[in-house]
Amino acid sequence: MSEHDRFIREAIAASEAAVEHGNHPFGAVLVKDGVVLLRAENNIFTGRDPTGHAETNLVRLAGAAYDEAFLADCILYTSTEPCPMCSAAIFWTGIRTVVFACSAAQLDTIGDVGFDLTSREVFARARQPVTIIGPVLEAEAMAVHERYWTAP
């Protein structure tokens, strides 16, 4: 088992909770030194906010609770590769490591649900390095998407 599996599974569980709450299947957790500090899920429908992606919701909470120096040592785990908006929000919050489960390319096999711009491409243009790891446990995260996006 990878060192990241436990936290990726928590992000996937948050994506399942998002669906249960009436939203798209995306979830994220913030971890420091092996401890989950924050959890967030997508709430674009229930929050009536198209920017209510799991990652942006998480970084809003993180930015309010912790300073940038603290966040630089945290890892953001997410059920799906961050979109360009979320990647930028992660960068501006000061988080410098992201681990994702389902890749944007794999998600796109279901349908046209996002951008043709990966988080690696966004982070490659950042003025400070951001480590991006993934996909990790992609099939587990993809199963949640398949149930959601292909349901009748």
- Residues acting as catalytic residues: 55
Given a contact cutoff of 8 angstroms between Cβ atoms, the answer to whether 77 and 40 are in contact is: no
In which element (H, E) is residue 98 found?
strand 97-102
Given a contact cutoff of 8 angstroms between Cβ atoms, the answer to whether 118 and 87 are in contact is: no
Structure tokens at 10: 């928590």
In which element (H, E) is residue 86 found?
helix 84-93
